[in-house]
Structure 1
């Protein structure tokens, strides 16, 4: 098996699971719960202890943008990334960079306030400030989805599951539908995708059938890391 994908429930690694289904190329999954990611075994896969990660052949690929590009470029005829050298390709790279370094990062102070302040009494104010920053990112994406079904100039790409995997976190914090209707519309569209439904079921460890038939089962971490 040439593709082994490492994911954690509720993480942005949902994006690669969706892309794998869209590609339809045989793959296996390795579930890595958050508490395990800091351990020595998973750090053989990714020294940063983060998901997603990908094993292809004898090598590992980490960082979501790199993983998504690797997957999409295995089958360029699927059209999940624009041609190299095109204006849309530049836009794709800009969005990948933004989603990783802007949109995602805005959530950090909310989810892991302890990384930023030592005084637990300050956590509520840190989280309150984080929500303001998260809303600014939602507003930026909402504006760019105006009149578009998909994020990349109305064309489906690897950006859409990446955005959805993180924008779903906003549902815990505020009313996405009333404040950012274009983002909510994008969420609803993605949730109608069989590949997304399958990935969400996989995260919940629920029995589900791979829409593409490409999923070949789970591998335990000890085996996957070697």
Structure 2
């Protein structure tokens, strides 16, 4: 059986939503960040980086959110969470998955944990502010690329939309949250309406306001 190590609202939300969309039986295993469980010796055997999530698929132990997402899309093609391999649509899917994980998702690290980026704690607020400004520019670019399309790939829903939804949610505490951009808000609302997404949010105890 598949097992997903998660913490509510963390990057594990993406594979969790995907597993619900796939409809495959899986087990949720809580990594209690409140108890620093992600740094426990047991968890570090699964992910030596001490970050969440981890997916266990038989003998395969996989960390890195985007890698888990791509594995699930490949393992369960019948779920339609990615276009067919070798197509131009699949290349566009890769583009969005890599961009979203390498650009806004990575930038959020400086927004949420600015103290990790400074030697002097007094500089942390400036690091946070600069990260927020960079995130604003990133979401403006994503909005322009999305335009008036329904999904990132046009008329086709994919795991990339789930990833963008998660990132929009993460920005809910920013001075200018991503949801304030009309087309990003509309996409997030469409994702939120999906039964599998509702099931994942309910299972994690995530209540309104979602984003």
Same structural fold, with TM-score higher than 0.5 when normalized by the shorter chain: yes
Distance apart, 1:59 and its partner CA: 2.0
Displacement after TM superposition at 1:50 (Å): 1.7
Counterpart in the other structure of 1:213: none
RCO greater where, 1 or 2, for CA within 8 Å and sep 6 or more? 1
**Which shifted more, 194-203 or 98-107?**
194-203
2:205 aligns to what?
Answer: 204
Unmatched runs of 5 consecutive residues or more in structure 2: none
In structure 2, distance between residues paired with 1:39 and 1:138 = 35
The worse-fitting range, judged by mean Cα deviation, of 12-21 and 169-178 is 169-178
Indicate the residue corresponding to 1:148 in structure 2. Answer: 149
Cα deviation, 1:156-214, whole Å, max 9, x if unaligned, reads 11111111112111111024344x111111111111122222212222289xxxxxxxx
Question: Whole-Å Cα distance in 2 between the matches of residues 27 and 199 of structure 1?
Answer: 12
Runs of 4+, deviation exceeding 4 Å: none
Mapped contact 2:38–2:44 kept (Cα < 8 A): yes
Contact 1:142 1:183 in 2 (8 A): yes
Counterpart for residue 58 of structure 1: 59
- Deviation of residue 113 (structure 1)? 0.8
Matched positions, count: 204
Structure 1 length normalisation: TM-score?
Answer: 0.85
1:42 deviation in Å?
Answer: 0.7
Structure 1 position 108, deviation (Å): 1.3
Distance 2:186 2:179 in 1: 8
User: Is there any run of 5+ residues in structure 1 with no aligned partner, and where?
Assistant: 207-226
Please report the TM-score for the alignment, with normalisation by the length of structure 2.
Answer: 0.90
